């Protein structure tokens, strides 16, 4: 069988070596995937490739020649359809090749996959091809065994057999066989055992030892079988015992369930009987209360017959309250005690006085209400005490602002188990669950409140409620814990915790966003104040001059006031050259939610600021603003009249977004600007 591997010229400029995966069935190790160096003519897997299987197949000195055969396998592909795969099998043929006991063949076997469109090229073996390769080798083993021929069983007789060794004269035709020159017989000379004979004897000894070992193993197996039978019998006995125990427990459980059901029925009947008795007792209590009231009323009439009966506002006799549970509210002595003699100045007749009924009214215990904190009266006092709390926190925790609490080291839980109260100089917060009500934080808050109260007689005359100070301190602790939690590691989307670097990066992004938002809100507030000041000054001037457009400017002030700080457009600060001089400008972003007319109003106010700056010393200065195409990111304010929102923008909103906007339906008219008439 010739070698059908394609030849690739080693002098080709495009030729290169590539490792192709194949499956090797070695005589010395189990089957495995190995890389086979192959010379490729190009990068296209369909072009010719020469695999050097000699590098992985052994016994090259015994047999350098390699045979190969092409095999086509019909099987189901990954999509369930019928598919054809091509493989090339490489093997050798020689009687001295090592025995491959796994396949009952001689030598090594290599299986490689053929390209789908070219039989002269080999490709990498896929993972799913391992089973196909095993199937091919198992199917071709018998045919390869016949092709390789019988094994070499023995060597030459000279080296294998024992026989008499004679010289050339010792033949059958020579009568002087085994005799010397004098005719004397010579002793026989035996040949030395050859390698085959030694091997045969070694095999006999090995066979005898193997049989002895097999007998020992059979005896051990028989003993193990007996032990296994004994263990099996013990297991069956334990299983039967467990089954009987389980049946007994189940029976006991059913009996207990029946007893519980009967007991529940009795309890239900007892509850019904008890409820009926309670109703009877309540009825008797009501009757007893009515009789007691009548008795008290009758005795009161007997004591003071001249006193009129108590009347209500409309003159009807007042009814005494009906006591529903006389046993818990009114206690009447069984033996009536006679009333003492009235004093000398009393008009009561001693003869009319009867037995006095002693009544005692007991109140039920109520939970004491928590003392409500009393806040300071003025806003200045609230600011003062909040500043004192903040200063005390900064002083004791050695920080300059709350953001530094991100690196605060809280007290560990194991330390609080040893001592629930901090030491005198221990200023660490407890940030575990329930931190606001922990004994540790309560002790820290008490110490801070005591420090703050020292300023009560020094800097301010009015007093402050310590409970209110503690509540304010609670809020500050919540804020501090929120700041501390920013830098803590949080779970990511895949469930793993962040690394320390990721937590720091996320915190930096949050702080930068807060800073930019604060800066943007500050700029909006400044713009809102400047525009209100401009309109107010313009109204003052127009009022003094008696201008006709005074009403329009007043209306414009209402519009700006209604928009508020949130209604101002966002802008970016920049610098530009005007006439060779660097000038600060603002790039105004698009406010998509506002009506288009409002942008004209704001532009008019900004122009008026420039006019005021040119004609008067007071008033805000002129700032150059340029509109840009970038849209602002600020949210639209809620509760504005519908005419102040853009119609196109409102149509793009979803229903829940429109409801959240809380658009006001009030009538609020806008202006029709006449710039020339409204200017100064």
In angstroms, the CA 518 to CA 634 distance is: 12
Check residue 578 and give its pLDDT.
Answer: 59
In angstroms, the CA 341 to CA 358 distance is: 16
pLDDT band at 454; cut points 50, 70, 90: confident
pLDDT digits (tens, 9 = 90+) for 333-377: 334 434 344 444 444 444 444 455 444 444 444 555 566 777 887
**DSSP three-state, residue 285:** helix
Strands (E), 254-329: none
pLDDT band at 621; cut points 50, 70, 90: low
pLDDT digits (tens, 9 = 90+) for 418-452: 888 888 888 888 888 888 888 888 998 888 888 88
pLDDT digits (tens, 9 = 90+) for 74-90: 988 778 788 889 999 99
pLDDT band at 310; cut points 50, 70, 90: very low
pLDDT band at 33; cut points 50, 70, 90: very high
pLDDT band at 330; cut points 50, 70, 90: very low
Q: What is the pTM (predicted TM-score) of this model?
A: 0.31
More confident position, 217 or 317 = 217
In angstroms, the CA 71 to CA 215 distance is: 46
Contacts of 555 (CB under 8 A, 6+ apart): 671
What are the residue ranges spanned by the domains of the chain? 16-148, 201-305+317-364, 379-488, 516-678
Share of the chain above pLDDT 70, in %: 71
> Around Cβ 657, how many Cβ atoms within 10 Å?
11
For the ranges 78-87, 395-404, 485-494, which has the lowest average pLDDT? Answer: 485-494
Share of the chain above pLDDT 90, in %: 15
**Up-side HSE of residue 127: CA atoms within 13 Å toward CB?**
1
Check residue 237 and give its pLDDT.
Answer: 93
Check residue 89 and give its pLDDT.
Answer: 94
pLDDT greater than 80 at residue 492: no
pLDDT digits (tens, 9 = 90+) for 107-133: 999 999 999 888 888 999 988 899 999
- Cα separation values, 20 from 5, 107, 411, Å: 14, 21, 62
- Cα separation values, 520 from 483, 602, 645, Å: 22, 18, 22
pLDDT greater than 90 at residue 214: yes
Q: Give the residue ranges of DSSP H helices in 459-595.
A: 466-486, 500-545, 550-563
pLDDT digits (tens, 9 = 90+) for 622-632: 566 666 666 66
Check residue 5 and give its pLDDT.
Answer: 66
pLDDT greater than 80 at residue 602: yes
pLDDT greater than 90 at residue 579: no
Are 630 and 589 contacting, i.e. CB atoms less than 8 angstroms apart?
Answer: yes
pLDDT greater than 60 at residue 21: yes
pLDDT digits (tens, 9 = 90+) for 537-551: 888 888 888 888 888
Are 48 and 6 contacting, i.e. CB atoms less than 8 angstroms apart?
Answer: yes
pLDDT digits (tens, 9 = 90+) for 125-169: 988 899 999 999 999 988 988 888 776 554 444 334 444 343 444
Contacts of 30 (CB under 8 A, 6+ apart): 102
Tell me which residue of 411, 480, 475 sits closest to 439, measured CA to CA: 411
> Around Cβ 521, how many Cβ atoms within 10 Å?
15
Question: Mean of the pLDDT values across residues 256-268?
Answer: 87
pLDDT greater than 60 at residue 532: yes
In angstroms, the CA 297 to CA 289 distance is: 12
């Amino acid at each position: 069988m010739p070698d059908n591997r394609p030849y690739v010229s080693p002098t080709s400029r495009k030729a290169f070596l590539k490792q192709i995966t194949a499956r090797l069935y070695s005589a010395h190790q189990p089957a495995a995937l190995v890389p086979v160096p192959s010379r490729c003519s190009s990068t296209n897997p369909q072009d010719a490739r020469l695999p050097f299987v000699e590098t992985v197949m052994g016994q090259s000195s015994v047999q350098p020649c390699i045979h190969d055969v092409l095999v086509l396998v019909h099987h189901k592909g990954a999509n369930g359809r019928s598919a054809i795969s091509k493989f090339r099998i490489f093997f050798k043929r020689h009687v001295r090749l090592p025995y491959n006991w796994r396949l009952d063949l001689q030598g090594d076997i290599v299986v490689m996959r053929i390209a789908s469109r070219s039989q002269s090229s080999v490709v990498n073996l896929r993972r799913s091809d391992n089973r196909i390769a095993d199937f091919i080798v198992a199917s071709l083993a018998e045919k390869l065994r016949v092709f390789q021929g019988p094994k070499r069983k023995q060597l030459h007789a000279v080296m294998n057999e024992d026989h008499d060794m004679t010289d050339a004269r010792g033949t059958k035709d020579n009568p002087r066989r085994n005799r010397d020159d004098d005719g004397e017989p010579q002793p026989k000379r035996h040949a030395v055992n050859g390698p085959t004979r030694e091997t045969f004897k070694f095999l006999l000894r090995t066979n005898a030892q193997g049989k002895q070992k097999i007998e020992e193993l059979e005896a051990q197996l028989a003993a193990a079988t007996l032990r296994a039978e004994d263990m099996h019998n013990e297991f069956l006995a334990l299983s039967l015992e467990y089954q009987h125990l389980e049946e007994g427990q189940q029976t006991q459980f059913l009996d207990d369930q029946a007893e519980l059901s009967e007991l529940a029925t009795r309890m239900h009947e007892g509850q019904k009987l008890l409820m009926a008795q309670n109703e009877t007792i309540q009825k008797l209590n009501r009757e007893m209360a009515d009789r007691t009231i009548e008795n008290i009323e009758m005795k009161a009439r007997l004591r003071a017959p001249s006193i009129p009966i108590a009347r209500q506002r409309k003159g009807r006799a007042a009814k005494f309250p009906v006591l529903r549970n006389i046993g818990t509210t009114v206690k009447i002595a069984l033996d009536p005690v006679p009333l003492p003699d009235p004093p000398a100045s009393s008009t009561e007749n001693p003869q009319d006085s009867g037995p006095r009924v002693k009544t005692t009214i007991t109140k039920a215990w109520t939970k004491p209400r928590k003392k409500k904190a009393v806040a300071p009266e003025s806003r200045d006092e609230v600011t003062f005490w909040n500043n004192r709390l903040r200063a005390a926190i900064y002083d004791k925790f050695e920080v300059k602002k709350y953001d530094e609490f991100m690196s605060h080291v809280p007290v560990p839980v194991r330390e609080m188990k040893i001592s629930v109260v901090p030491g005198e100089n221990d200023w660490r917060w407890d940030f575990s669950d329930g931190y606001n009500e922990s004994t540790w934080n309560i002790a820290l808050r008490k110490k801070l409140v005591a420090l703050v109260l020292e300023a009560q007689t020094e800097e301010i005359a009015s007093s402050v409620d310590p409970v209110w100070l503690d509540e304010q301190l609670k809020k500050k602790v919540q804020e501090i814990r929120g700041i501390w939690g920013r830098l803590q590691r949080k779970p990511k989307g895949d469930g793993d915790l962040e690394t320390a670097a990721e937590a720091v990066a996320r915190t930096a992004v949050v702080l930068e966003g807060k800073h930019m938002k604060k800066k943007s809100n500050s700029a909006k507030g400044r713009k809102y104040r400047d525009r209100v000041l401009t309109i107010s000054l313009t109204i003052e001037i127009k009022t003094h001059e008696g201008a006709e457009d005074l009403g329009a400017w007043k209306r414009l002030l209402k519009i700006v006031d209604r928009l508020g700080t949130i209604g101002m457009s966002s802008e970016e600060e920049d610098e530009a050259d005007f006439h060779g001089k660097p000038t600060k400008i603002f790039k105004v972003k698009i406010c998509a939610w506002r009506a288009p007319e409002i942008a004209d109003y704001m532009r008019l106010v900004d122009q008026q600021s420039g006019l005021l700056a040119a004609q008067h010393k007071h008033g805000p200065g002129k700032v150059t603003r340029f509109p840009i195409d970038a849209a602002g990111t600020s949210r639209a304010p809620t509760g504005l009249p519908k005419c102040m929102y853009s119609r196109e923008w409102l149509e793009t909103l979803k229903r829940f977004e429109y409801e959240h906007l809380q658009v006001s339906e009030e009538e609020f008219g806008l202006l029709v600007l006449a710039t020339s008439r409204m200017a100064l």
